[in-house]
């Protein structure tokens, strides 16, 4: 039975056509911030789909942990199945748990320690390519860096030879997520529209590369110390089963997308925030000099690069790469006294909650020192800091991402600082990840410790 307006949570004025869809799609972070001002639970309608926005840590805990079994993945991830296949991001139920169980060893601490050498090597390699006073497209440079890292750690290959082709395919693939969110996108895909054509071309490009590497490895199976080896050698502890080439491909492309895009965005926003906060930048550089004493950073330095970790944590508080988390209700249920019908979208936004003044002092300010009083683990446990989500669908590569982010930040800040180029505008492009809308042109300033 349809709910009347007085049975629903408060909401903003809807459009005649599409409800709130176009307002939400136009400026999603701004729209959800306005929604949050209406209360901890608010309502919107996206064409024919009822949607509920939750903005409180207790409600986030209920969604992701307590009542997790009452939800399936949101429409964005369901539709992305056509792009990513049946990987960790898109699979459900027992199959998802089986795949996660098989992949988990690839992210154990000893494996990440081995990947750390590649993270530092590639960060030092890219910092040597820059010139003092040059204007860099820093967002592209960070994409190039994380592409190199994920290529080496996932496939043990140098993707520089194919970097332009792979980078273009990745951009087309991620932009296709926007296309996938359009109403009736499954039918629009059948038409010869430019987004659909680019999407197909991107998948074909990545498939050619990934299946080619898988084929080479199948011919000479061995543990190369990379993520792909773990996928190919993984066995289910219950039935002893291994992954098919298709399953390996789906997990590889999922890890490729997740491991490449999110860290690049986090680093881009981190260097932007440092450029606007010279005191924090100075303190970071002092820590790097004190801890590293001129040598390259290493996995063993992570525990002593505490302010570098705080800088990255604060950057991901203000600009979380995964800015929204959606689920679809699998049954009728109650949330804060409201009846949420089966099939409704239920949404939380780390971006909005991370800036809520109820949970964060000086919520809109970049203050890395706040993490000296409260650890990342504590904030995550309290459910008001969720850059990697929580629960059975939390990011399996969280440890990998922290290691990569801190080591890359330390290696680059050891030799360089950055300032915004004249005329550079700052805006957000919330697709599947949170990207800088206008890119990030920055002037590279070589530090005088070289």
Give residue for tokens 């060893």: 105
Tens digit of each residue's pLDDT (9 = 90 or more) over 50-77: 999 999 999 999 999 999 999 987 766 6
Q: Is the pLDDT of residue 180 over 90?
A: no
Tens digit of each residue's pLDDT (9 = 90 or more) over 268-302: 999 999 999 999 999 999 999 999 999 999 999 99
**Per-residue CA distances from 289 to 109, 126, 271, 295, 301 (Å):** 26, 20, 18, 9, 12
Give residue for tokens 């063993």: 300
Average pLDDT for the chain: 88
> Is the distance from CB of 439 to CB of 139 less than 8 angstroms?
yes
Between residues 72 and 317, the one the model is more confident about: 317
103's tokens = 């992949």
CA torsion sign for 241, 244, 247, 251 is positive
pLDDT of residue 220: 77
pLDDT of residue 229: 84
- Measured in degrees and rounded to the nearest 5, phi and psi for residue 223 equal -90, 105
Tens digit of each residue's pLDDT (9 = 90 or more) over 197-216: 877 787 888 888 788 888 88
Length of the chain: 450
Tens digit of each residue's pLDDT (9 = 90 or more) over 323-343: 999 999 999 999 999 999 999
pLDDT of residue 301: 98
> Is the distance from CB of 139 to CB of 268 less than 8 angstroms?
yes
> Is the distance from CB of 141 to CB of 126 less than 8 angstroms?
yes
CA atoms within 13 A on the CB side of 32: 24
Q: Which of 401, 120, 154, 105 is nearest to 255 (CA)?
A: 154
pLDDT of residue 434: 93
Burial letters 130-151, b for 16+ CB under 10 A, else e = beeeeebebbbbbbbbbbbbbb
Between residues 163 and 51, the one the model is more confident about: 51
Please tell me the least confidently modeled range out of 181-190, 252-261, 349-358: 181-190
- 248 pLDDT band (50/70/90 cuts)? confident
pTM of the model: 0.91
Q: What's the CATH fold of domain 5-446?
A: Cytochrome p450 (1.10.630)
What distance lies between CA 446 and its chain's CA centroid?
Answer: 29
pLDDT of residue 1: 47
Element (H, E) at 49: strand 49-54
């Amino acid at each position: 039975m349809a709910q009347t307006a007085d049975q629903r949570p408060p909401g903003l004025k809807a459009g005649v056509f599409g409800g709130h869809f176009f307002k939400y799609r136009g400026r999603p972070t701004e729209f959800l911030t306005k929604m949050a001002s209406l209360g901890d639970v608010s309502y919107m309608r996206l064409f024919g789909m009822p949607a509920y926005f939750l903005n409180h840590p207790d409600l986030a805990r209920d969604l992701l942990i307590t009542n997790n079994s009452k939800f399936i993945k949101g429409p964005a991830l369901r539709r992305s199945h056509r792009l990513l296949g049946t990987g960790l991001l898109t699979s459900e139920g027992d199959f998802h748990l089986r795949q996660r169980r098989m992949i988990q060893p690839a992210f154990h601490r000893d494996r990440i320690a081995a990947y750390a050498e590649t993270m530092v090597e590639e960060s030092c390699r890219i910092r040597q390519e820059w010139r003092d006073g040059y204007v860099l497209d820093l967002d592209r440079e960070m994409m190039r860096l994380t592409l190199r890292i994920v290529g080496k750690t996932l496939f043990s290959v140098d993707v520089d030879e194919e970097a332009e082709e792979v980078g273009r395919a990745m951009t087309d693939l991620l932009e296709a997520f926007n296309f996938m969110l359009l109403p009736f996108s499954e039918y629009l895909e059948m038409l010869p529209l430019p987004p659909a054509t680019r999407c197909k071309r991107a998948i074909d490009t990545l498939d050619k590369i990934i299946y080619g590497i898988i084929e080479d490895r199948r011919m000479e199976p061995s543990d190369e110390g990379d993520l792909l080896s773990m996928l190919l050698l993984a066995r289910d502890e219950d039935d002893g089963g291994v992954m098919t080439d298709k399953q390996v491909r789906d997990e590889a492309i999922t890890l490729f997308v997740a491991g490449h895009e999110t860290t690049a965005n986090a680093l881009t926003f981190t260097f932007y925030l440092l450029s606007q906060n010279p005191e924090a930048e100075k303190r970071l550089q002092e820590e790097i000099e004190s801890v590293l004493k001129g040598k390259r950073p290493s996995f063993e330095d992570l525990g002593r690069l505490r302010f570098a970790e705080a800088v990255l944590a604060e950057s991901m508080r203000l600009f979380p790469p995964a800015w929204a988390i959606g689920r679809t209700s699998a049954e009728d249920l109650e949330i804060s006294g409201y009846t949420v019908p089966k099939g409704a979208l239920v949404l939380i936004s780390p971006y909005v909650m991370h800036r809520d003044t109820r949970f964060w002092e000086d919520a809109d300010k970049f203050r890395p020192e706040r993490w000296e009083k409260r650890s990342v683990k504590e904030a995550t446990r309290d459910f008001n800091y969720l850059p990697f989500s929580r629960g059975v669908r939390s990011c399996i590569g969280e440890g990998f991402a922290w290691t990569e982010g801190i080591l890359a930040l330390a290696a680059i800040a050891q030799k360089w600082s950055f300032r915004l180029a004249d005329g550079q505008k700052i805006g957000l492009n919330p697709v599947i990840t949170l990207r800088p809308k206008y890119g990030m042109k920055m002037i590279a300033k070589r530090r005088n410790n070289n």
